[in-house]
Amino acid sequence: MWVTLKGKRLTVKIDLERYINTPYPFFLIFMIDEHLLLGACWEGEFEGANADVYGFFESLLTACYYFLQPEHPHVQKITKFDRENAERDGFELRDEVVVYQTTLVAEAAGTYYFCSTRNLTRIYYENDFLKFTDCPEYKGKHKGVVELSLKEFIEDVLKISREYLEKYAPVIEKIRLEHGEESDDYDFLQKFYREVEELYKKKFGSES
């Protein structure tokens, strides 16, 4: 059973029926508008990449946390290091002040650089699973960049993260525990969510 978490631009789909006994046990699809950043398309249908759902949402919240504190020394250090990595990976970055590299905690799924300017979010991506698609609309579209407003990106991440924590994290945790896994630290993730929410409110006012 696929469940969908949807913002204005961001969409995440998680398959709660299939579980693979690996560090990346669930199938997950991540899209921004029509861009398929994580997952594949076969015979006209989407398929998920193997992912750690907790880690996926932690990565999105980390991107927001960094975007809202571009002057922080730790963020500047990460930006310098990850900008060099992005250039080595063949991405032509522009005027971004924050650069954050992540795997989205998915198994060998691709390369992702979440970047921001003062007002914009840009996500440079190479979705390895999409390289071999047989869907005509996605051929040659495994690598690219998606741009949206900084405010819109953070609002969407907060919206879908809140829905995940409130609605689906208990279900996912139950499945994991039934398979003998140790419990994830949801107290930390809830606290991290609230920190990002507070930083958002300081910059933009109350959440839309």
For 194-204, write each residue's pLDDT tens digit: 999 999 999 99
Q: What is the pLDDT along the chain (208 residues), one digit of tens a residue?
A: 899 999 999 999 999 999 999 999 999 999 999 999 999 999 999 999 999 999 999 999 999 999 999 999 999 999 999 999 999 999 999 999 999 999 999 997 899 999 999 999 999 999 999 999 999 999 999 999 999 999 999 999 999 999 999 999 999 999 999 998 988 899 999 999 999 999 999 999 865 4
Number of H helices, E strands in the chain: 5, 11
Angle between helices 53-67 and 73-88 (to 10 degrees): 110
Give the list of residues 6+ apart from residue 27 with CB closer than 8 angstroms, or none: 14, 15, 18, 47, 48, 49, 50, 51
pTM of the model: 0.95
